[in-house]
Amino acid sequence: MPMEADTIKALIKEALPDAEITIEDTAGDGDHYAAKVVSKAFKGKSRVAQHQMVYAALGGRMGGELHALALTTELPEGA
């Protein structure tokens, strides 16, 4: 069963409470998403580490409930 965008957002927000999250259903099928996550928690972390933090927040759902996620991570302006 596909994962809802609101569920993805809630899982990320639980792990990164300060995060600003934008999610787009790129294929309109509830299975392929693009997410932009902006958080101060990314400070000092490599892009790979930032993505790992987001994937960890999704609790192993990638490849199962969540088929595809194009991920962009950033620090907030001024951070």
> Could you tell me the two tokens for 22?
């934008």
Integer angstrom CA distances of residue 46 from 1, 12, 51, 56, 74:
32, 18, 9, 15, 11
Best CA proximity match to 39, nearest among 4, 77, 68: 77
Where exactly are the structural domains of the chain? 5-74
Please state whether beta strands 32-38 and 68-74 pair in parallel, antiparallel, or not at all (unpaired). Answer: parallel
Q: What six digits make up the tokens of 20? A: 């600003």
Residue 1 in this model has a pLDDT that exceeds 70? no
pLDDT over 70 at 48, yes or no:
yes
Question: What is the CATH architecture assignment of 5-74?
Answer: 2-Layer Sandwich (3.30)
Average per-residue pLDDT for the chain: 92
State the pTM of this model: 0.90
| First CA to last CA distance, the chain | 38
